[in-house]
Structure 1
Amino acid sequence: MATEAISVRVPARSTGHDLRAVKVVLHREMLRFVNDRTRMLSMLMQPVLWLFVMGTGLGSLVQGAIPGIDYRTFMYPGMISMTVIMTGMFSAGSIVWDREFGFLREMLVAPVSRGAIVVGKCLGGAIVATGQGVVILAMAGLVGVPYSVTLMVTLLAEMFLAAFTITAFGVMLAARMKNMQTFFGLMQMAIMPMMFLSGAMFPLANLPSWLHVLTVVNPMTYAVDPMRAAVFSHLDVPAQVNAVLNPGVRWFDFQVPVPLELGIVAALGVVLLGVGIAEFRRAE
């Protein structure tokens, strides 16, 4: 008895399919985050502790040197950056989780490009991290930062840009990793030096030459400094204090303008996204 072959038609890939894939991955990232309240709280605890405990302690030591401003006001943009960076990296790490438990395999056999999956993951991580940063924005008044509409919108845009770039960096790291322990170990090794060398917790003025070089080559410096510039533009502080706490970034005698700093972060995000897509396509 002859058996008839059953043909299976696989839909061809198209831009429409890819856009729907981006939407599905993005939506899944948001649902995963909203439903994990423990993760939401844990991501907020570290920057809040740094801002209100460490910031208060350090402020008591330097209050005589920076009259007219609370040291926690200086640390505030850095704590926004810390929140965004940690949340974005954890969102990127979910790729490793999906690989371990099989969901990633289901996405890979779908008739969509792997690039669409990566873009959806990066956008989802960026939106989730920005949403987490909004909670820190709500605390602005507690540390002497005004609730200016212009300032809040500027910080939101800069947060999203930094979140997208750091999520793309995390996706690039996670693309070919097999277990969560390896990813989180590498994440800590990469993120902690970047945070400490970004000027999030100490001013960039009057640093030793070796430390100045490390801050200048650190990509996260160019994400933190525009946020601090935006905050200080809405504060009334003495000129000498502003020069110490908000000196900006200098390349030798060249003062790097904020638009160029944001351009560096955006360009880095695009490059990391491209590398992440390439790594993802080569991954099994």
Structure 2
Amino acid sequence: MTSDAIAVRVPRRSAAHDLRAVKVVLHREMLRFLNDRTRMISMLIQPVLWLFVMGTGLGTLVSGAIPGLDFRTFMYPGMISMTVIMTAMFSAGSIVWDREFGFLREMLVAPVSRTSIVVGKCLGGAVVATAQGIVILALAGAVGVPYDPVLMLTLLGEMFLAAFTITAFGVMMAARMKNMQSFFGLMQVAIMPMMFLSGAMFPLANLPSWLHVLTTVNPLTYAVDPMRQAVFGSLHVAPQVDAMLNPGVSWFGAKLSIGLELGLVTAIGAVLLGVAVAQFRRAD
């Protein structure tokens, strides 16, 4: 008795297969987000509380120092950043969840490059975080920010860039982690100090030298500042108020341009994406 061997044909890897893999991973991230109402709501509560509760409270203390401007207007770009960053990190953390339940192994043995899996995950996290940030954009009028189409589109693009970079950072961290507790513990240690030192909640002008150095070396500073520059560019405020609340980022006394700041965020995102891909190639 003889048996005929059944040939198994594995599709050859190609750019089309990799692009389809990117699309599938991105689509899965969006479906996961849309089906998790609790996550959608919880990711919005914190920035809204900071903006309307803490922003209003602090505004009563500094109202005399910033005539003609609501302090919540100053905090608004920072709250957009907080929403985008937290959502992006949670999207990246789903990798650890997939590893715990075995789905990640199925993706890694698929006949597609691991680069496409990482790119799809980063794009998915960026799209989800940007969609969440649109809700905060809708609150612009409540804090004195005009609904200028150019401003909204500018903030939308800057949100996506920041979200992609942060998701790449989260994917890099999650690539080798085995459980969610470790990931979220590390996320708190890494993200919260970076968020507080980005200028999201306080102006970057007249800082002590040690704090100025920390804000300058913080990558998130270069994601928050372009959003604030865009918001203040659409407002009519006194020059002294603008100099106090929107001084920009300076290196050795020279103010950086918005283009350079966005270029730095892009470069950091590309480096983090490359490291994340390398981590995945070594993953089991």
Aligned to 1:22: 22
Aligned to 2:198: 198
Shift of 1:4: 3.0
Q: Distance between the aligned counterparts of 2:164 and 2:13, measured in 1?
A: 26
Matched to 1:191, the amino acid is I
Shift of 1:253: 1.5
Q: Distance between the aligned counterparts of 2:220 and 2:117, measured in 1?
A: 25
Aligned residue for 2:64, secondary structure, equals coil
Structure 2: where are the runs of 5+ without partners? Answer: none
Q: Distance between the aligned counterparts of 2:98 and 2:199, measured in 1?
A: 34
TM-score between both structures, scaled by the size of structure 2: 0.99
Aligned to 1:138: 138
Aligned to 1:45: 45
Q: Is 1:222 aligned to 2:222, yes or no?
A: yes
Shift of 1:11: 1.1
Aligned to 2:129: 129
Aligned to 2:33: 33
State the identity %.
80
TM-score between both structures, scaled by the size of structure 1: 0.99
Aligned to 1:112: 112
Aligned to 1:8: 8
Higher alpha-carbon deviation: 120-129 or 3-12: 3-12
Q: Distance between the aligned counterparts of 2:78 and 2:32, measured in 1?
A: 26
Task: Give the total of aligned pairs.
Answer: 284
Shift of 1:34: 0.4
Q: Distance between the aligned counterparts of 1:259 and 1:123, measured in 2?
A: 22
Matched to 1:88, the amino acid is A
Shift of 1:246: 0.1
Shift of 1:5: 2.6
Matched to 2:135, the amino acid is V
Cα deviation per residue 1:220-279 (whole Å; 9 max; x = unaligned)? 000000000000000011000000000000001111111000000001001100000000
Q: Is 1:244 aligned to 2:271, yes or no?
A: no
Aligned residue for 2:118, secondary structure, equals helix
Matched to 1:159, the amino acid is M
Matched to 1:119, the amino acid is V
Structure 1: where are the runs of 5+ without partners? Answer: none
Aligned residue for 2:250, secondary structure, equals strand
Shift of 1:6: 2.4
Alignment of 1:50-61 (within 5 A): 50-61=50-61
Shift of 1:2: 2.9
Shift of 1:108: 1.1
Q: Distance between the aligned counterparts of 1:35 and 1:140, measured in 2?
A: 27
| Root-mean-square deviation over aligned CA pairs | 0.6
Aligned to 1:102: 102
Q: Distance between the aligned counterparts of 2:159 and 2:242, measured in 1?
A: 22
Shift of 1:3: 3.0
Cα deviation per residue 1:145-188 (whole Å; 9 max; x = unaligned)? 00000000000000000000000000000011110000000001
Q: Distance between the aligned counterparts of 1:30 and 1:112, measured in 2?
A: 20
Aligned to 1:68: 68
